[in-house]
Amino acid sequence: MLPGNENKIEYVRALEDFRRARAKARLQRLWAAFTGESLDLLRFNDISQRIRSTGFSSRGLQEIPVNAIVGSVNRYQDFNRNFLPLLDADIERWANVKAAITKPGGVGLPPILVYKIGEAYFVLDGNHRVSIAKQMGMEELEAYVTEIKTRVPITPEDSPDDIILKAEYSKFLENTNIDSIIPDATFSLTSPGQYLILEEHIHVHRHYMGLEQQREIPWDEAIWHWYEHVYQPLIEIIRDQNLMKEFPERTETDLYIWILDHQAYLQEQLGWSVRPEKAALDLLRQQSGQMFRTIKRWFRKKNNEFMISSTRGEKIHEGHELNINRHHNKLFSDILVAFSGKSGSWIALEQAVRVGALEGADVRGLVIKKGFDWIGPEVSEQEIIRHFSESLEDKGVHGNLVFAQGNIAETILNRNKVNDLVVLKLDHPPSTNRFARLKSGMRRIVRKSTIPMLFVCNELSEMNRMLLAYDGSPKGKQALYIATYLASRYDKDLSVVVVDQDEAQGQQKLSDAVEYLGLDGVRQIFRKPTKPTNIVILQVAEDINADLIIMGGYGFSPVLEIIFGSTVDGVLRGTHVPVLVAQ
């Protein structure tokens, strides 16, 4: 009891307040057990060691916010995160302190002693005073403050899990010194253990820089190079399309690690190098259909920005500027060519290598084993590898070859997701028979592919005399911007043919296409469909001696195409020059 048995009323009230506080603490513990939320008071020694202090300084006597007091130096087991008492045995001390504060003529709460880390405070002396102040609804307390300086400050809202992450971040900064090298950059992660992965990325990047440049790379230089050439390009994609809205509880650095992890997975699965932007596209396709459509629109927008420029006078369509850099100036950076290795299939490889040389692209060879039908007795696997390597070396093209097993159409479709163009030998064009068309693997590839396909018969193309078959459809417009890119980028001869029953409508389509092209000297050809459209297109191609036909993919539904056939099928059946089908 208080000395002299004074202020008994205040003491009795304080006892009741303590019991209510204990009951509230029990209820909060039950709720925390149900929700999984931690109510532990933060331990100063653990936090200071984890966050790795860099110094301290005295801030003197200050008014500090009560809600920012989140931990204790040595009484963390006596109170919960809200400073509610946890020990029944603490009743007399707690009640004595409160009665002394609230008695008539009392001096109020004496200043407490605290450590400050970031915006959070830890009690060195005065834990009971903080508990009472919180129960009384006080907003501020006087405190003698010693500030602990750290690289990663904490906040009063941080949970123990948050502290663990910030501790890992602090160690990452200490190991890399990246906050001093790139002061404006932040790297926030939401899963434990990921900062070790991020640090490993930098070490690996430095290692390969040293191998490439044949010298010891200074740490600061490696950090900057990694940041500018690896990290920032992926972050720009994430920011440009506001992809974080799909992951509101994650961070940009989370997505960066996910994308590069997925890149490593794809490279191991496919046997090819995979560019980070392709890994991002595939990862986002898997995570969210809406997100995939968003990122796909972004890639198409970027394509349009450089594809619709004229090399003559640099005329820009719709105000876009030609974007020239290492990768984004290419429409076809990665080319997939599937072939069997038998004598008649090499022409597909030769065509892929020609396009690869033109574009400075990587050529990815794919030989597919279906059941027991392997490459055949006429050629060995070693001979295929040698021929492939020699073909690429002859044109100065980079790439690699893999062997796979499975259904041909499905294997090609699965692998085209990390490529920009598929080149195939047209051994089995779509049949005129409806039921045969239904089972056609080639037709399935055309319909399901998300990237353009170049079909080769028995002639190679240098793309010197291209014919664009344009019909104004969405697929036709895709073909138009591919033709625009090839003609303007490489100064190729281009003709445009429109086949339409209505001459005025057909002439308008021609006019629209030529205006979009923004090129001089484009031959405009209009034809009425006196014969099936595919026959007309093939005849025009022969008349102008075209070495490449460019057209859109299937436009009708699968059912209608099975019943009535399609222009694409007809052109593929009758062509002797390569056909590029846009998607």
pLDDT in tens, 314-340: 332 332 222 323 345 689 999 999 988
What integer pLDDT is reported at residue 35 of this predicted model? 82
What integer pLDDT is reported at residue 6 of this predicted model? 55
Cα angle 203, 262, 582; round to 5:
125
What is the layout of strands, in order, in the sheet containing 523-527?
398-405, 362-369, 334-338, 421-425, 453-456, 579-582, 548-552, 465-469, 493-499, 523-527
What integer pLDDT is reported at residue 303 of this predicted model? 47
What integer pLDDT is reported at residue 155 of this predicted model? 85
pTM of the model as a whole: 0.69
Q: Which two tokens stand for residue 214?
A: 């044949």
pLDDT digits over 78-127, tens only? 999 899 999 998 898 998 888 888 877 666 788 999 999 888 999 999 99
What integer pLDDT is reported at residue 541 of this predicted model? 96
> Domains, the chain, ranges and CATH?
3-162 (3.90.1530.10), 177-302 (no CATH), 334-582 (3.40.50.12370)
The stretches in the chain having pLDDT less than 70 are: 1-7, 105-107, 241, 287-329, 370-379, 430-441, 555-565
pLDDT digits over 417-474, tens only? 889 999 999 887 765 555 444 556 677 788 788 899 999 998 999 999 999 999 999 8
What integer pLDDT is reported at residue 438 of this predicted model? 53
What integer pLDDT is reported at residue 431 of this predicted model? 58
Q: Round to whole Å and give the CA distance between 490 and 91.
A: 87
Q: In a 10 Å sphere around its CB, with 0-12 CB exposed, 13-18 middle and 19+ buried, how is residue 475 labelled?
A: middle
